[in-house]
């Protein structure tokens, strides 16, 4: 079967779950390779440069969080979906802070996983030919590149998509639910805390140039003047 959307590495030690993930991702147009432990998964990602990786947090040995940390420390920004059997806020926040793009809690449907990965790859490969922002901050959607004062800043695919969405309409206030639906592609899948953590990450990476303004009780807007 042709796989027009590219290769996805799945790190999952439970065979039944891995089979479901493989099936739905293949049906969605991806080729899939499954690793049963963290060391193999990390080696596969580094060797094969997949379009995305699906990492189980509870892997034996090197777990999903450790794989993610190793990738980001090496400046490898392969899009990552974290999967866990635990519905713990600390897992979700830690994963996002380390550079995860999305998060799923077991049990989940194979269809939902495929939709998340499709959306993530689409955000990664987005090309519009537009350079957004102004002054210190430049968001080049054609080259998928962000710079502050001319210096490139490494962002995850989801951080980039969120920033580009806000910067494209300066001054417009977006509700958190709107951002979840538009940027992540699945409305309110894990609560508005997801948006808050990603905005915090953007502010940490971009500093005063972020220009992301919080509108209490509503959401966020991009303000070129840099108002917090």
**Kindly report the CA angle at 38 between 36 and 41, in degrees rounded to 5?**
75
Q: pLDDT tens for residues 103-133?
A: 888 888 889 899 889 888 877 765 455 677 7
The total of structural domains in the chain comes to 2
What does the pLDDT read at residue 178? Answer: 80
Q: What is the DSSP letter of 227?
A: -
Are the C-beta atoms of 199 and 212 separated by less than 8 Å?
yes
Residue 18 shares a structural domain with residue 102: yes
What does the pLDDT read at residue 150? Answer: 86
Phi and psi angles of residue 182, each rounded to the nearest 5 degrees, phi first: -80, -45
Residue 120 shares a structural domain with residue 155: no
Q: Is it the case that residue 23 has pLDDT exceeding 90?
A: yes
Lowest-confidence range among 4-8, 130-134, 148-152, 156-160?
130-134
Q: CA-based Rg of the chain, rounded to a whole angstrom?
A: 17
Q: pLDDT tens for residues 168-184?
A: 888 889 888 888 877 87
Taking the model in full, what pTM does it have?
Answer: 0.66
Distance CA 21, CA 227 (A): 43
CA 47 to chain centre: 21
Q: Does a structural domain hold residue 40?
A: yes
Domain boundary among 67, 99, 124: 124
Are the C-beta atoms of 170 and 224 separated by less than 8 Å?
yes
What does the pLDDT read at residue 92? Answer: 67
**What pairs with residue 221 in β-bridges?**
213
For residue 214, what are the domain limits?
131-222
């Amino acid at each position: 079967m042709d796989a027009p959307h590219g290769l996805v590495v799945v790190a999952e030690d439970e065979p039944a779950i891995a089979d479901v993930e493989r099936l739905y991702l293949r049906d969605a147009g991806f080729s899939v390779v499954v690793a049963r432990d963290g060391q193999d998964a990390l080696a596969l990602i580094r060797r094969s440069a997949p379009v995305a990786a699906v990492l189980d947090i509870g892997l034996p040995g090197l777990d999903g969080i450790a794989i993610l940390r190793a990738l980001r420390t090496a400046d490898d920004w392969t899009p990552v979906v974290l999967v866990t059997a635990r519905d713990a806020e600390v897992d979700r926040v830690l994963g996002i802070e380390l550079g995860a793009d999305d998060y799923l809690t077991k049990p989940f449907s194979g269809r939902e996983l495929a939709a998340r990965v499709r959306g993530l790859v689409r955000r990664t490969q987005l090309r519009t030919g537009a350079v957004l922002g102004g002054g210190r901050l430049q968001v080049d959607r054609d080259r998928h590149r962000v710079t502050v004062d001319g210096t490139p800043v490494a962002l995850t695919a989801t951080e980039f998509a969120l920033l580009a969405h806000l910067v494209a309409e300066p001054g417009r206030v977006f509700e958190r639910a709107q951002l979840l639906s538009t940027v992540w592609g699945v409305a309110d899948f894990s609560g508005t805390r997801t948006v808050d953590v990603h905005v915090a990450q953007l502010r940490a990476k971009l500093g005063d140039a972020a220009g992301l303004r919080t509108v209490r009780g509503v959401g966020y807007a991009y303000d070129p003047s840099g108002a917090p």
